[in-house]
Amino acid sequence: MQGLLKLFLLAGLFTISLAQCSGNFTNETQQVTIDWTVIDSNTVNFIYTAPSTDTQYTALAFSSQLITSVGELANVDAVYAGDNGADFFVQDRWVPNALSNQLDTEQNLQNTNASLSGDFLTVNFTRPIISPDKNQDLDLNMCQYVIYVFNGAVIGSFSSPTGFNIPSGFGLLPMQLCLQNCQDVSSLSTTIPSSTGTMSTTTISTSVQSSSSISSGSISVSATTATATPTPTATATSTPSGASAGMLASVLLIMIAVAIVLYV
């Protein structure tokens, strides 16, 4: 009975510690940045910046399967955006395969903005974590791969695009985005630090904020830790840069949790 309780406690902490309620990704080579913040229990905001022009679009997409090139795009939940100075669009779309692209019948994006400045488009949108649109939006309460594309031509007008040419820029986040349990994070912050020693306080607060940062330049101390842990969110590619301070903090939190459980 007590063993079962310990197991539940551990499983709960493990799941919570995997959530990344806010974070950012930078690919310095491609000059792409993505920032995300959970702003309430079912809403997440994304700010995405990528190279673009006044004839081009960029898109950010979620996928349940690993996709490593434009040609592999299939069943992807995407946000397409562009700005030509006169008009901008930010559209909720569904990509059944690399050659087709549908405007969602239900548009579930809010507070959208796309602004071209110099050679960069900044796209801002909020969307539900669990969307009411079950057919053309993926559930971000489950871990999803995040893909981005840029430098593709818009077909038709910017007020009402009719199509999108194949983009020349493609990339993916080296880890999955996991927003589940973000609404529980604040309660965790009040309970855990009080039961641990001073040395680990800093580490725990990092994990509680569940921030995660990935950059192409980062040297990853935690890469070894990440591979040694049976986590479903482990780095999608072989690049070790995917793991982060957040991941390391998560692993430490789990170790601390194990220590607590052993003393219960």
For position 190 contacting ligand NAG by CB under 6 A, the verdict is: no
Nearest approach, Cβ of 32 to ligand NAG (angstroms)? 8
Structural element, H or E, at residue 224: helix 223-228
- Let me know: does 19 contact 185? Beta carbons within 8 Å: yes
Q: Which position among 17, 20, 27, 233 is part of the footprint of ligand NAG (CB under 6 A)?
A: 27
Q: Which position among 6, 9, 14, 30 is part of the footprint of ligand NAG (CB under 6 A)?
A: 30
Q: Which position among 6, 35, 107, 181 is part of the footprint of ligand NAG (CB under 6 A)?
A: 35
Compute CA 37 distance to the chain's CA centroid, rounded to the nearest angstrom: 9
Nearest approach, Cβ of 14 to ligand NAG (angstroms)? 20
For position 211 contacting ligand NAG by CB under 6 A, the verdict is: yes
- Let me know: does 251 contact 229? Beta carbons within 8 Å: yes
User: Nearest-5° angle of CA 72, CA 73, CA 79?
Assistant: 160
- 227 vs 223: CA distance, rounded Å: 6
Structural element, H or E, at residue 63: strand 56-63
- Let me know: does 59 contact 167? Beta carbons within 8 Å: yes
Question: Which pair of tokens denotes residue 31?
Answer: 């000059």
For position 113 contacting ligand NAG by CB under 6 A, the verdict is: yes
For position 53 contacting ligand NAG by CB under 6 A, the verdict is: no
Q: Cβ–Cβ contacts within 10 Å for residue 79, how many?
A: 23
Specify the 3-state DSSP secondary structure of 228.
helix
Q: Which position among 47, 153, 234, 236 is part of the footprint of ligand NAG (CB under 6 A)?
A: 47
Q: Which position among 64, 115, 141, 229 is part of the footprint of ligand NAG (CB under 6 A)?
A: 115
Q: Which stretch binds ligand NAG (CB under 6 A): 6-14, 23-31, 49-57, 195-203?
A: 23-31
Point out the residue whose Cβ comes nearest to ligand NAG.
Answer: 211
Q: Where along the sequence are the contacts to ligand NAG (CB under 6 A)? A: 23-24, 27, 29-30, 35, 47, 111, 113, 115, 124, 171, 174, 211, 213, 216, 239, 241
